[in-house]
Amino acid sequence: MKIITLMIFMMIFREMIFTKWIRNKAAQIKAAFKEDLTKNSDLTVEQCERKRIRMVRRISFAVTFGLMAANLMGITALADDSSGSSGSTEGVDTFNTVVQFIVDWVARIGLVIGFIGAIQFAMGFKDDSADGKTRGLMCLASGFIVFAVAKAYDMFTV
């Protein structure tokens, strides 16, 4: 009988300690959350240090998790020449088609930027604003540079 009473007392005592630990942990989490939402200028030095440590832990966890996830996504790719010929160029053709599509749109975006720069340049003349003229010419030039680089894509292919 004493053993059963002792075991019940130990279970109740353990439950009380565990409940107290949970409450303390909840209070710590609540305090940390409040500290994270408070400006650093309103915190004490110790609170700022705890906040900085939590931020470093979060960033290091995110970087570690990202690296582990990237490591798990590795795929081993082996070339298979089962047709007996020199190989298929279907993947290369698809890649080239996608790249050409992107290059065409980059060239179009460059022309739009150049057009916007021309409008800014004209508005600079209307207002007789040296700053507006300068910004317009810079935008016009940058748009034409983007267009020229996109159209020179063939120089960069192998």
The token duo for 69 is 């996830």
Locus of tokens 């409940």? 19
| Residues 76-134: tens digit of each pLDDT | 666 665 555 555 677 888 888 888 899 999 999 999 999 999 999 999 888 888 888 99
In angstroms, the Cα distances linking 102 to 5, 17, 91, 112, 153 are: 77, 63, 17, 15, 11
- In the chain the first and final C-alpha atoms are separated, in Å, by 88
| Residues 29-77: tens digit of each pLDDT | 888 888 888 888 888 888 888 888 888 988 999 999 888 888 877 766 6
